[in-house]
Amino acid sequence: MKIKSAQSLVAEALKEIKTIDTDQAFKMVEKNNCNLIDIRDVRELEKEGRIENSHHIPRGMMEFWLDPNSPYFQQGKLDQSKEMVLFCAGGLRSALAAKTLKDMGFEKVSHIDGGFGALRNSKFKIV
């Protein structure tokens, strides 16, 4: 049995998903046409802070919180008509998560290159 490496899964995901930079993400948030979603673990948020106006959906619950047929669906938490813009600490988990959302049928999905590390050095405010 050959197991794919995490690196190869991320590389495959990056070929299929839209990657944006922090400036593009900031403009989308300013125009209120996206859901900015932080998929980091709660311990990361407590340690590093969070981006103002972002929604926290832990990676481990993302599929369940965004599936209207799941008992864990977060009704009204996000505007499903807007683009889902994901980020994690560095951009690897968010690439995999963005691919998963596309696989689920979400059409407007992207992730932020460099994740929270890049966001920290951008126009975004950390709270």
Per-residue pLDDT reduced to its tens digit, 46-78: 999 999 999 999 999 999 999 999 999 988 889
| Domains contained in the chain, number | 1
Asked if residue 108 belongs to a domain, the reply is yes
Asked if residue 34 belongs to a domain, the reply is yes
CATH code for the domain of 69 = 3.40.250.10
Domain range enclosing 109? 12-120
Q: What is the 3-state secondary structure (H, E, C) of the chain?
A: CCCCCHHHHHHHHHHHCEEECHHHHHHHHHCCCEEEEECCCHHHHHHHCCECCCEECCHHHHHHHHCCCCCCCCCCCCCCCCEEEEECCCCHHHHHHHHHHHHHCCCCEEEECCHHHHHHCCCCCEC
Asked if residue 4 belongs to a domain, the reply is no
Per-residue pLDDT reduced to its tens digit, 16-48: 999 999 999 999 999 999 999 999 999 999 999
Asked if residue 36 belongs to a domain, the reply is yes
